[in-house]
Amino acid sequence: MLAQMRAVAEAASLPSVRTGATADVAGGFAAELSRSLKKVSDLQNSSAAQARAFQMGAPDIALNDVMVNMQKASIAFQATVQVRNRMVAAYQEIARMAI
């Protein structure tokens, strides 16, 4: 699913016809989507690494920290999925519009 979202972000970042009035500011939507996906991926990777370290018995990692970080990663992923669902719904609605 994350790969699909990255593909959508990559497709959105392809150059398209733009006017001066709609010029991108600091990368625009595609760049922000890409940054958000990277943050979610980083959260998931770091929480998984912390959980593995806790399972291996690392003395400096507390269970409550592991659980909080896993919940943060889960919530971030769920929010990302909801954004993707809204984007797909908007795309489908646009596709159904009569020209």
Ranges of each domain in the chain: 2-13+23-96
Write down the number of H helices and E strands in the chain.
3, 0
**pLDDT by residue (tens digit) across 76-95?**
999 999 999 999 999 999 99
The predicted pLDDT at position 30 comes to 86
The predicted pLDDT at position 99 comes to 78
Question: Rg of the chain over CA atoms, in angstroms?
Answer: 18
* CB 91, CB 58: distance < 8 Å: no
The predicted pLDDT at position 26 comes to 67
The predicted pLDDT at position 38 comes to 95
**What CA–CA distance (Å, rounded) separates 18 from 1?**
30
**pLDDT by residue (tens digit) across 21-77?**
454 456 788 899 899 999 999 999 999 999 999 999 999 999 999 999 999 999 999
